[in-house]
Every structure is written in structure tokens, then in C-alpha cells.
Structure 1
């Protein structure tokens, strides 16, 4: 399998995006066709790996279709806030989590309220959003407030202080860069049933070599057509932010997928995207260094040299 090159210096050097397109082609042509949770059906392979060099501000932002990177960045900032309600995303025009609480609302109330009307109620009515917009203890809740419990006597337990894994990793990178325990984990077995969707991008491990910080992201389940472009950018952005906070240069992003799949109703997307040629070397610029990892804002990020081809739309499986 090809790996990302430091730069596209010559016509003989494969474009870094070829890894992604080759994976898409392999899944569609060779993947195991199977019935999945959503009932739509997928073609799937197990155990895929991609590697991208983040040096010199490079970022794995797919060019064969437009990826709305600000949406991915806003989602990452939402994760870091520990928020689990979609309302802050809705107020920013971010739509990627809307289907899950809407499906729960329709299922539990029996009201045939369409998605747009549901989202508008989330936007306008804080009480409605509080009741119906929460996703349970997903992603950011586990990242910055992993629950603990402590004895309260007579066989009882009370809630203890939450664990901020992100701050812990930043502290360990500063104090003990050679550690093999720089991990942020989202897979809290005790709380999976309370989540609208158990974490797909579940484990982030960071590694220091010299003055460079690399990240390995393990994803248990991956929608390659719609989800993976966002996941790659989000992981690269998180790595860049953490590297900046601890005074390191960005190294590599290594992505590893468990059940790595394409949905059967995405055939038009797959066919169109595989007919396109990747081009360009997008770069991600961090405009300032905030006091902490939690103080970044969307205006702190700029993507340059990004000239993607047209978007390719496809339905989200819920």
C-alpha cells in the first residue's frame, strides 16, 4: 500500500490522496457484502491503514470532492468542550449530528415531524433542545469528563471527579514525552447503551520522536465515503493543536480502521469520486497559540491552497 509522501515533487510521486482512493476502490470491488445495523447494507474490509505526513503544515484534506473543513473543525471544538447536545452545533449551522436525535424523537413521540422542522425547534427552543437534542455521553464527555465513582459507605457509591483525558495527555507529553500511555479513549463500556452512537473514532494515541508529535487514530467502524474525510481532517487538527500546545512540530497521522466500509446506496458517489484525479497540497495554518487546548476558536484556523472538486452528496445512514 502506498504511503503519503512529504511533497508531490514530481510526476513519479503518487499523490498522497491515492491511499484514500485506493482504499475506496478496494472496498467497492473486493469488500465483503453484508447486512449492517442500519439495514442499508455495506461492502466492508477489516483492518485498513493510511499514513499522512503533517509536516510543513500539510493536512489530509480530500481534493476529489469538497470537504467542508470548517464543519469538521467546529465539531472538534465541540468535542473538546465536553458538550453532548447538538444545539451549539445547530446554532453554527453544523448538521452532521441532527439525524440521531431526530430519529429518537420520532420513535419515542410518534410525531411525524420532519428533520428541518425538528432542527428549527432545537434552534429556537432551549427547553426542547435540552430534552431532545442530547446525544448521551458521547465523545467529548468521555474525553474531558470520564466518570468516576467513589465509595459512599454502606455499599453505596457517589459520583467522583471526572477525568480530563485531554489535559492529562498534554501534561504527560510535556513531562514524560517518551511514555507509551499518551492515549485519549472514548470507548466507555459502562455507558455505551446511553450514547446515541457509540464512538467510531474511539482511540487516539500520541507519540513523540525527536521534536515531532504523531497521532495514531483507531476507528472501530468507518464510513469511508462520508465519514472518513471528516475524521482525517479532525484528527490532523487535534494533532496540530496538541503539538502547538506542547511545543512540538507535527509528525504523522496514522489512521487505522476496523470495519471499514462503503454503503451500498453510495454507488453514485464511489463511481464519480473514483473517476476524478486528486490534485494539490492543502495546508492548515494555526493563526495563534491560545493559553490552553480548550481556548481555540474557529477563527484560529485557516486552510490555504485548497482547490477541491465539486461536492458529491449522499444520504447518511442512521
Structure 2
């Protein structure tokens, strides 16, 4: 028996399969993709292992800050920009340019959002995306006058933490982002939309279903984000991290990502990055970025490609 296959080969095999056999199609962005449907990757997160790609540098710090931002329920890019995270700027920037006719650059737009609270409130809000649904899913009920009135929001994350503790065998440990009634108000409907947790003995497993996945740019981020969320849930419930199962619906590569694909498929994965969490606060909402550390991560060089908006 030889050495076990590096888990990152799953990702590279998927990338190669999409590029060589995917269905070429016109997409929402107009860029065009090669796409396959119904895919799966599996990663064992035991021993602090984390699915950080080594065949290119993944900016895990931005992904960690984004996950903490989701858990606050914020819908504004301002808290992210204040930490130097620009991954959500493209959508509000496009909206502002179209509405104002101003040919503003991204850096200037971001500076204005950070410095001008009123501008941020008007142009830096993404609508009820991810975190808003996770921790404050809206409810409505009949009022005394027969009209609907707003009820209390549902904190799905807190409810799943509680249900993992009190009813680990449940098949309902789900965090859902796809609120059909509010999709038209979101800058981008959730791609990583459904997280389901599962307890096996003392191990916590997680399945993430992603309806739409940009394999070159999005998936490396999504894998780390899901792994971090799973680790936080495990820490809060006294469970050991088990298996992260990632499942993709429309799993695609953009046609203008060919250079990145070619360069990355010429590389071989090596090493075993670890994610350390140094503190377990009272609730899952009290973590700070400083609580996280990635060790043994020596990735190969950065590979860049344009984002399709």
C-alpha cells in the first residue's frame, strides 16, 4: 500500500473534469461557463485538518472574517471593508455605477463606504443576504386587525447549536439561506445555501449544499468557510470535528479562467494545513478573528482570474 492520496486531488480532478467535459453554456454574467451538475467532495477534519488548497494561495483570513461577519447578521459591506476585506464590493459597486452614471473606481467607492456612514447605508447594503437569514430569519403573523405584522426573527444558528446539544440524533440540524420571499432583495442569492449537521458518536459532520459554484475562485473560499463554521459548531457543542461533505449543484468554471485552470492543474498538492482555535467563548457569536490560527500552510504561488459579476 502506498501513501494515501492527498485530499486536494479531489478538487483538482473536479477542475479537470469540468474543463474537459463540462457543458459549455451562456450564463447570467454573459462570460460563459463550462458546467457539470451534481458533484461531491469529502474532507476529514479530524486532527485540526482543514481543506485549504496548497496548489495556490487561498486568502483564508478574508474567508474567516467573512464567516464572522455572517454570524453578526450584518448586510453591509462596511464592516468588511473596515477590516480590509473587499470580496463583496463588486455587486454594490456595479449597482452604484448603473444608478449614478459615475465611472467610479473600486478603491474610491470602498473608501467612500468606509468614511461616509450615510453613503454606506445607501450604497453599501447587500439586502438580506446570508447572515441575515442565518441569525434573523423574518417571521410574520396575523395582527389583531387581520393584517400581517412582523414577528420575532429566528436565529437558526443558535437553534442548531442547541439542538445538537439536546437532540444530537435529530435529522433537522439545518441552517438555510434560501428565503424565497426575499431573493429579489438580495445583491446575490445565496450560493452556499444549506448546511446540515450530523452527529456520529462524538464526531460532528457537516454537509454543505451549494446551488452554484465558481470552482476556480469561489470553491476554495467556500471550503474553508464551511470547515470553519463546522469547527465552531463542534467547539460549541463539545464534539470532535468529523467529515465535511461538500455538494455542488451547477458546478462550473468560467471560460475566461483558462489560464488559471491550466496553471493550477500543472501543480501537485503537498502538505497538511491545520486550523487551530485558541478559545471557546460562551456562544458561537463571540469569536474573534484572533482566536484562529492556520499552521503548516505553505501554498504555491497566487493564481488570479477575473470575477464574473
Q: Which residue of 2 is the match for residue 155 of structure 1? A: 146
CA distance in 1, matches of 2:164, 2:107: 44
CA distance in structure 2 between the partners assigned to 1:168 and 1:116 by the alignment: 39
**C-alpha distance in 2 between matches for 1:71 and 1:11:** 36
Superposed displacement of residue 61, structure 1: 0.3
| Pair 1:57 & 2:64 matched | no
Indicate the residue corresponding to 2:240 in structure 1. 249
Q: Does 1:312 align with 2:289?
A: no
* Total equivalences in the alignment: 309
Q: Deviations over 1:90-135 (max 9, x none)?
A: 0000010000000000111111112111111011111100110000
Aligned to 1:104: 95
Counterpart check, 1:285 vs 2:247: no
What's 1:5 paired with? none
Q: CA RMSD in A?
A: 0.8
Q: Give 2:293's match in structure 1, choosing from 292, 302, 308.
A: 302
Aligned mates of 1:299, 1:290 — CA distance in 2? 12
Gaps of 5+ in 1: 1-9
Output the CA distance in 2 between the equivalents of 1:13 and 1:159. Answer: 54
Deviation of 1:158 after TM superposition, in Å, equals 0.9
Q: 1:203: which partner in 2?
A: 194
Displacement, 1:152? 1.4
Q: Extract structure 1 runs of 4+ deviating beyond 4 A.
A: none
Q: Aligned ranges for residues 231-242 of structure 1 at < 5 Å?
A: 231-242=222-233
TM-score, normalization: structure 1?
0.96
Report the counterpart of residue 6 of structure 1 in structure 2: none
Distance in 2, matches of 1:234 and 1:25, equals 23
Q: Quote how far apart the aligned CAs of 1:11 are.
A: 4.8
- Write the distance in 1 (CA, Å) between the matches of 2:3 and 2:130: 41
Cα separation, 2, equivalents of 1:242 and 1:264: 37
Output aligned runs, 1:34-49, within 5 Å: 34-49=25-40
Matched, 1:82 2:61: no
Deviation at 1:243, TM superposition (A): 0.3
Could you tell me which of 19, 22, 30 is aligned with 1:28? 19
**What is the TM-score normalised by the length of structure 2?**
0.99
Deviations 1:253-299 (A, max 9, x none): 00000000000000000000000010000000000111100000000
